[in-house]
Every structure is written in structure tokens, then in C-alpha cells.
Amino acid sequence: MSLTPPSQRIWWNESIPKTEVLWIIIAFCWGLVMFFMMIWWHGAGEQNLSNEAYRNTPEAYSKKADEMIAAYTVRDENGFPVVRPPAGSDVYLIARLWQWWPILELEKDQSYRLHVMSMDWQHGFSLQPVNINIQVHPGYDMVMTVKPDQAGEYGIICNEFCGIGHHTMLGKLYVVEQQ
Ligand code: CUA
């Protein structure tokens, strides 16, 4: 029962006009193009980081980070240890309310396994000005193989709202020429 019944009672059984069929085909093909572009850009666009994730606990993770900090700290910067781990090694960055700990100093054109994990809530790792972004979760150790190709001072900002101190969650990363 309808207030405005269709004039033709079997309206759903009409053939589709040619132009509509054409648009459906175009839209479907475009959808396929965009789907395969995702795969293409993953390799060719250098936009998506290929990363690994492992379940971990804050205790075990911070123990690894502390060991690295104890072994390779080269100086202090406003209470933050500046850590220069050997090229090729596993490097640990801690995200927590509300800091990135410690400050890492990496060598240009050397490869590192960069670990990032949150000790508490969800944070967002955003490396500026190069704009590399990854989500940082509690309970997951994210590992990225990185090879910095430009020396300089980089900022790490948190781009996931994590409470009252979110806007103060700023870190630093140095890339230095090989010595
Ligand atoms: Cu951490 Cu916002």
C-alpha cells in the first residue's frame, strides 16, 4: 500500500537504459583502476612504509629501550638523552604521555630497524617536515626499516589526540653525516 503507487506495477523489471549501463561499467572500471593503484603506489609511490608489528608489553619494550639508552647515550639535551645507536641496529623509540623518548641520532645512508611502541594510550608518530605518519598503539611494537637520506633535525609530533598534554608531545630526531 502506497500513497503514490508507481504507474507501472512491475517497474523493477524494466530494462536498464544504455547510458546507465555505460555509467555502471565506467564506475566499475574506475573502481578497479583505483584498487590496483593502491597496490602500485605501495611499491612505486614510496608512501606506505612496509612495517612489521609484534605483540609486546610496556615492561619488556622499555627494558630494551633502557638498555639501548644506557649503552649509546652521547649527550643530554634538556633532560632528554640523545642516543646514537650503531648503524644497522635495533632502535627503540618510546611513545608515552606526553613525550617521545629518547632523542635518536641516526647516520645518513645507514639502515636501522626503528621500533615504536606506546606505553599507554594511542599516539600518532608524525615525522616532520617529511610527513611520515604511523599509528602507535599500546601492546604493539611497530618495526620499520629506515634509511635516512637527508641529514638534519627532524621533529616528531603526535598526531593522534591523547589527552590534555597532546599538543606538548613533541620529540626530535637527528640525522647526521657519517663519521
Ligand atoms: Cu600522543 Cu597526542
CATH number at residue 85: 2.60.40.420
Ligand 1 pocket at CB < 6 A = 98, 123, 158, 160-162, 166, 169
Residue 95 CA, closest ligand 1 atom number = 1
In a domain, 60, yes or no: yes
Q: Is the distance from CB of 38 to CB of 127 less than 8 angstroms?
A: no
**21 and 100 fall within a common domain:** no
d(CA 114, CA 148): 11
**87 and 139 fall within a common domain:** yes
d(CA 26, CA 38): 19
In a domain, 3, yes or no: no
d(CA 117, CA 126): 13
pLDDT for the residue 39 = 86
Residue 98, pLDDT above cutoff 90: yes
Q: Is the distance from CB of 58 to CB of 136 less than 8 angstroms?
A: no
**109 and 22 fall within a common domain:** no
Give the closest residue (by CA) to ligand 1 atom 1: 123
pTM comes to: 0.75
Residue 161 CA, closest ligand 1 atom number = 2
- Residue 124 Cα, ligand 1 centroid: separation in angstroms? 6
* CA triple 96-115-154, angle to 5 deg: 75
**35 and 117 fall within a common domain:** no
Residue 162 CA, closest ligand 1 atom number = 2
Domains identified in the chain, total number: 2
In a domain, 1, yes or no: no
Q: What is the dihedral of CA 70, 120, 154, 73, to 10 degrees?
A: 0
**17 and 67 fall within a common domain:** no
In a domain, 2, yes or no: no
Residue 160 CA, closest ligand 1 atom number = 2
Continuous segment of H or E residues that includes residue 66:
helix 58-72
The H helix count followed by the E strand count for the chain is 2, 12
- Residue 156 Cα, ligand 1 centroid: separation in angstroms? 11
In a domain, 78, yes or no: yes
**161 and 94 fall within a common domain:** yes
Kindly report the number of other CB atoms within 10 A of residue 139's CB atom.
13
The boundaries of the domain holding residue 61 are: 51-176
In a domain, 165, yes or no: yes
pLDDT by residue (tens digit) across 132-176?
888 999 999 999 988 999 999 999 999 999 999 999 999 999 999
pLDDT for the residue 1 = 65
- Residue 123 Cα, ligand 1 centroid: separation in angstroms? 5
pLDDT by residue (tens digit) across 18-43?
999 999 999 999 999 999 998 888 88
In a domain, 82, yes or no: yes
**82 and 164 fall within a common domain:** yes
**39 and 77 fall within a common domain:** no
d(CA 119, CA 116): 10
- Residue 163 Cα, ligand 1 centroid: separation in angstroms? 7
**89 and 16 fall within a common domain:** no
In a domain, 155, yes or no: yes
